A and B are shown apart, each in its own frame.
Chain A
Amino acid sequence: MELIRNAGPPGLLVIALGLGGVVMLVLTGAMVAASRAQRTLLFAGLVMAFGSAALLVGAAGRTSGRMNTFNAVAYADPSQRDELIARGFEEANASLYLGAGFGLPLLLLGAATTALQLSRGGGRQ
């Protein structure tokens, strides 16, 4: 919960994209179960699309958080700089953690499904 609060608006977008990817993953599973090769590959592509978008938005969120941190640090009391940087980085990284948490498994699962489907080499088994 703290991770989501620290991540802010980009975190919410990452969660939305991640949940979209999970829905696509479920649909991919349904297509695998139904032995629909063409649709399996299409949904696996969608899973990877949502995963990559979540990862990129997470990285953008971290960059935005770091920008705000450095902006604040530049005008802060020098004695508080280290503490501000440490806290700012921790909050900025929350967005990337969320993005990587959703994005990387989705990318891996999408790629694995695609590879498996291609190696099987056929539609209805």
Chain B
Amino acid sequence: MMVQMFQEGGWWMYPITLLGCALVPLSIVLVILGAASKQRNALMMSLILLVAGLTPAMLGAVAQMLSMRSAEEAIVHVNPADAATIRAAAMSESLTTVLFGLSSSVIPVFCGFVLLGIGLGRLPRFEEQA
């Protein structure tokens, strides 16, 4: 299943996987560090996590668009009778990167919002009075 996804997604799968593999442990570490640090650092870490967390999804979308562009370029040179079949197969394969990117974004974005809540709750005016 995984091998098939990598074959379908092409080389774009490697940066997305690498980013996803780096972001999941980083998210957990940043949440722990953020919970233990001052509000300013926690807010900064949450923003980093939210932006970095959405990167795999964006990368997946860019990869899908570029893959479809290549497929459309190739379709020009094939028999028109086969064009619809090739386009459908290409669309299916190119969506692999989007799926992978979205899946990689879930944990970092989740952790980013948790850290945002922690960071905002640590603003001095709330901490003093709570």
* Residues of A near any B CB (own CB < 8 A): 36-46, 48-50, 52-53, 56-57, 59-60, 63-64, 66-71, 73-75, 78, 81, 110, 114, 117-118, 121-124
Contact = CB atoms under 8 A, between A and B. Distances in A.
B117 A81 contact: no
Contact of B126 (A50, A53, A74, A122): A122
A110 to B, nearest CB: 8
A70 B88 contact: yes
B63 interface: no
Contacts, number: 110
B65 to A, nearest CB: 14
Contact of A70 (B89, B110, B113, B127): B89
Q: Which 8 A-B pairs have the closest CB atoms?
A: A45-B117, A123-B129, A70-B92, A49-B113, A38-B130, A41-B121, A74-B88, A60-B102
Contacts of A48: 113, 116-117
A41 B120 contact: yes
B36 to A, nearest CB: 15
B79 interface: no
Given A42-B121, A52-B109, A67-B96, A36 B102 contact: no
Chain B CB within 10 A, most for which of A59, A64, A67 = A67
B52 interface: no
A75 B85 CA distance: 7
Given A37-B129, A56-B109, A81-B84, A46 B117 contact: yes
A42 B117 CA distance: 4
Contacts of B84: 78, 81
7 contacts: A38-B121, A41-B117, A50-B110, A56-B57, A56-B105, A63-B99, A74-B85
A52 B126 contact: no
A41 B126 contact: yes
B88 A73 contact: yes
